[in-house]
Amino acid sequence: MKKYQISILISVVSICGIVVLNYRLATLFNNSSGKNKALFGLTELAYLDVKLYIGLVVTIALGFGILAIRKAENRQYSILSIILSIIGILSLFVRWWTMMILTL
């Protein structure tokens, strides 16, 4: 497998993991009572380790994307892999579950 293929695969799996994690947080929030909703930040901290692991994996994917550009592999796919990795890294810092509450 080429390095950009590995990077794209890891980035897509990581983004799916971020979506699943945020969906779980949104359903936990919707099923909570009033006091638990007020202190939901503590519940969110319990899932911080999962975000850390996803962040490490996406950072590795970014490294593979950068290596793909240095090795002069397919340039378009290499740039796509880097963009997907950056989207994955940035989406770790956004609390998507707060927007999912409105739709559940």
- Quote the CA–CA distance of 94 and 79 in Å, as a whole number: 23
Give me the pLDDT at residue 4, please: 80
Point out the residues of the chain with pLDDT beneath 50. none
pTM, full prediction: 0.86
Q: What single DSSP character describes residue 79?
A: H
pLDDT tens, residue by residue, 25-52: 999 999 988 888 888 989 889 989 999 9
- Quote the CA–CA distance of 2 and 65 in Å, as a whole number: 10
Q: Where are the domains of the chain?
A: 3-98
- Quote the CA–CA distance of 10 and 4 in Å, as a whole number: 10
Average pLDDT, the chain: 90
